[in-house]
Chains A and B, each alone.
Chain A
């Protein structure tokens, strides 16, 4: 029932409410009106017996008047009056009681009925005697009729009086009871009215409650926090129910839209952050070089001038040394902001090692194990040299001269090209490795382009921490491996 009501259209609900309350009010009114009418009829009937008796008395007088007139003048109009009144009275006395009872009024009715019969019989005899012109006979009969009429009048008057008293008592009782019924009808009407008011309140509440909830939700959304707004429960299937459903869908759409925008914003900001970091690191590296080498272009040109001078003097080893230095610095000048081929990175390491070996008189034993097929793989610039520099600085620096060995391996491992720089130096503490891997050891703590910088750039470039790996054992050396994904086109070479 409630479900059915809830699913009704609002217009129908309103019609149903007003129709129901109106029907109840009308029904109660009609019921009270009809019963009141019945009561009024009953009250009207109270004195009907008196009215009937009065009519009987009037008609009796008419009979007697007709009889008297006919006996006096033999007037046919009087005779007509006599017969018509007799007919009326005969019909009327049929309504009177004819049985013997112990009820005084009923018994008097019986007496009246029989006396009227006696009267009519005697009057008929008088009329017959009149027609027979028997004066004594009809005079006697007329006297007899007059006497009976006198008795009848007394009887009717008496019973009328008695009935009037009884009827008055009944009337009083009826009107008294009627007051109670009026009070009762007022109470019933009040109860029905109250019920109607409550019905209207309940029904209008049923209609307006979902609207109120909807409006409060709308206010919540408009206050600017739609994500925390819970969807509304759909109670009914009416217009409000449909609006609620649409509202919920709209709310879900808003939430979804906001989530998407948020994800997009996060991605964009991450990208920006990455680019920014990359640029920062590169600039940082460049700055470091610029700071440490003051003016590489100037130095490079100077070195070239030195190499030409050495060539003219026939100092081939000096020429070789200076060229290597020049290559090293040229590379630094040229390749700082772009990707390079792995072969170029290896060449840079070769130059670097050559320079150091000249500097340290061939103390560094440098071994290369290169998979030639990987030489064309593009890598970020300046990633191997810092590792080699690190191995020299912190690995083999403090061991016996001539014993230090640095191995550069380039090999294929699955879809990755692995670049490994290993040394047989003193090794690195676990704590330091941990700090390096967690990026806690700042670049300022290293000299030159540090390992942290390489790690950061690889991380940004490949978007993965897995690219970089450091393994070390105390007094056995350190092994740093970079795993670079091989591009699809180069994998099958």
Chain B
């Protein structure tokens, strides 16, 4: 009798344990289904990227969209624009095909941007496109290089005459350092594009050194594609005969190409390089003494002026036609202020 009771109670315990397991499994199933539902719900979340909206869009069209100067200015323009509820698009970038400046300008006009920041030139095509944009109510502000005679609303310029003068002064300083007072040969490398400020700089240099013991020769470097600059510099210098004492570069790629050339040819110390732009490579070259001095644009100031000019014109219908920015001279004395962070120079 007792055995039967014990057996019955054991069976009952077994049934209760089974019932407990069933309850646990039920909870596990329900929790699993809830988690499963959540997993399915979360599946598409990756698509929903967050983005910010802006009230205006401006197009930035540079002569050479791949140059470091362009990138630096675009970066500054973008940052400042974002602060002012605007967005600046580097038109023609991120496309499968590279387009000419005129095409990029056309694209900007077709896509009905609110304003265009354009690195101008003196070509008729550019002028016509600026006029076309203006006719469609799109204000154009030129930067670095102007488009004379066009209906652009403002020009944010660098003081290129002063830059030429400073290059001249540096050349004369170098000539004066010669113990024998002999003439120094200076090669000035100008760009092959149609922007007009190279001529202004060249003219200013020549005027500054005119009658002094500095002989200047200018050569045009083909910068039509990103790869031609280095080849152009090498071609010029290889065929130059007796190497010049000083090389003046008016472009960031040209500066870096010349620096690489003299390092490669073991001519550091024999040729003095006066560079352009404050890329990491050029800063490094100044630190090492391969480049004597470089002139950098105040990209932030330029960028701010461009955005301000467009905003002012759109808001008021009027804007000052000319804004000017100075170049910054960087040599071994102040190079530490321009050293890139977290980079081994």
On A, residues with C-beta under 8 Å from B are 24, 28, 31-32, 35-36, 38-39, 42, 45-46, 99-104, 106-108, 110-112, 114-115, 117-119, 147-148, 151, 154-155, 157-158, 161-162, 169-170, 173-174, 177-178, 180-181, 184-185, 187-188, 191-192, 194-195, 198-199, 201-202, 205-206, 209, 230
Q: Which residues of B contact A117 (CB under 8 A)?
A: 112
Q: Check B18–A198 contact: CB distance below 8 A.
A: yes
Find residues 1-47 in chain B having any chain A CB closer than 8 Å to their own CB. 1, 11, 15, 18-19, 21-22, 25-26, 28-29, 32-33, 35-37, 39-40, 42-44, 46-47
With A154-B95, A158-B95, A184-B35 as contacts: A114 and B111 at CB distance below 8 Å: yes
Q: Known: A103-B51, A177-B39. Is A31-B33 also a contact (CB below 8 A)?
A: yes
Asked whether A35 lies within 8 Å of B37 as measured between CB atoms, the reply is yes
Q: Which of B37, B56, B82 has the most CB of A within 10 A?
A: B37
Q: Does B106 count as interface, using CB distance less than 8 angstroms? A: yes
Asked whether B51 lies within 8 Å of A115 as measured between CB atoms, the reply is no
Taking CB as reference atom, which chain B residue is nearest A194?
B25
B40 & A102 in contact (Cβ 8 Å cutoff): no
Minimum CB distance partner of B87 in chain A: A100
B334 within 8 A of A: no
Q: Are B32 and A187 in touch, CB under 8 angstroms?
A: yes
Q: A114 touches which one: B28, B39, B112 (CB < 8 A)?
A: B112
Counting CB contacts under 8 A, is B343 at the interface?
no
- Given A202-B18, A205-B15, CB of A35 within 8 Å of CB of B36: yes
Are A148 and B110 interface neighbours, CB within 8 A?
Answer: yes
A199 contacts across to B, CB distance below 8 A: 22
Check B29–A188 contact: CB distance below 8 A.
Answer: yes
Distance of A100 Cα from B49 Cα, bound (Å): 15
Could you tell me the distance in whole angstroms from the C-beta of B97 to the nearest C-beta in chain A? 5
> Given the complex of chains A and B, what is the CA–CA distance between A232 and B84 in angstroms?
90
**CA A148 to CA B29, docked complex, whole Å:** 58
- Contact A191-B29, Cβ < 8 Å, known A115-B110, A154-B97, A202-B15: yes
Select A100's contact among B1, B33, B46, B56, beta carbons within 8 Å: B56
B29 with A28: CB separation less than 8 A = yes
What residues on A are CB-neighbors of B26 within 8 Å?
195
29 contacts between A and B (CB under 8 A): A31-B33, A31-B37, A46-B47, A100-B53, A100-B56, A102-B51, A102-B87, A107-B57, A111-B89, A112-B111, A114-B110, A147-B103, A154-B95, A157-B96, A170-B46, A177-B39, A177-B42, A181-B39, A184-B36, A188-B29, A188-B32, A188-B33, A192-B25, A199-B22, A202-B15, A202-B18, A206-B15, A209-B11, A230-B1
Q: Once the chains are docked, how many angstroms separate the CA of A161 from the CA of B1? A: 83
Nearest-CB residue, chain B, relative to A41: B44
Interface centre among B21, B22, B44, B103, by most chain A C-beta atoms within 10 angstroms, is B44
Q: Check if A195 sits within 8 Å of B22, measured CB to CB.
A: yes
Query: Would you call the interface of chain B mostly helix, strand, loop, or mixed?
Result: helix
Q: Is B52 an interface residue (CB 8 A)?
A: yes
Shortest Cβ distance from A151 into B: residue: B107
B: which residues have CB within 8 A of A? 1, 11, 15, 18-19, 21-22, 25-26, 28-29, 32-33, 35-37, 39-40, 42-44, 46-47, 49, 51-57, 82, 87, 89, 94-97, 99, 103, 106-107, 109-112
Residue of A nearest to B39 (CB): A181
The smallest beta-carbon distance between B95 and chain A, in angstroms, is 5
**What residues of A have a CB within 8 angstroms of the CB of B40 in the complex?**
35-36, 38-39, 181
Q: Could you tell me the distance between the alpha carbons of A110 and B108 in the complex, rounded to whole angstroms? A: 12
How many angstroms from the CA of A103 to the CA of B76 in the assembled complex? 18
Instruction: Check A177–B43 contact: CB distance below 8 A.
Output: yes
Across the two chains, which residue of chain A brings its CB closest to B85?
A: A100
Q: Which residues of A contact B44 (CB under 8 A)?
A: 42, 45, 170, 174
Min CB–CB distance A352 → chain B (angstroms): 67
Q: Whose C-beta in chain B lies nearest to the C-beta of A174?
A: B43
Q: How far is the CB of B15 from chain A (nearest CB, A)?
A: 6
Knowing A107-B89, A151-B106, A202-B19, say if A42 contacts B111 (CB, 8 Å).
no
Question: Closest residue of chain A to B106, judged by CB?
Answer: A147
Cα A195 to Cα B20 with chains together (Å): 10
Q: 11 extra interchain contacts, Cβ-Cβ under 8 A, other than A101-B52, A114-B111, A114-B112?
A: A31-B33, A31-B36, A35-B36, A108-B94, A115-B111, A118-B111, A118-B112, A155-B95, A158-B95, A191-B32, A202-B19
The smallest C-beta distance from A95 to any residue of chain B, in angstroms, reads 15
What 3 A-B pairs are tightest by C-beta distance, nearest first?
A103-B51, A188-B32, A195-B25
The answer to whether A99 touches B111, judged by C-beta atoms less than 8 angstroms apart, is: no
Minimum CB–CB distance from A24 to chain B (whole Å) comes to 8
Measured in the bound complex, the distance between the Cα atoms of B147 and A457 in whole Å is: 162
A384 to B43, CA, bound (A): 121
Output the residue of B21, B29, B56, B106 with the most chain A CB within 10 A.
Answer: B29
Q: Closest residue of chain B to A205, judged by CB?
A: B15
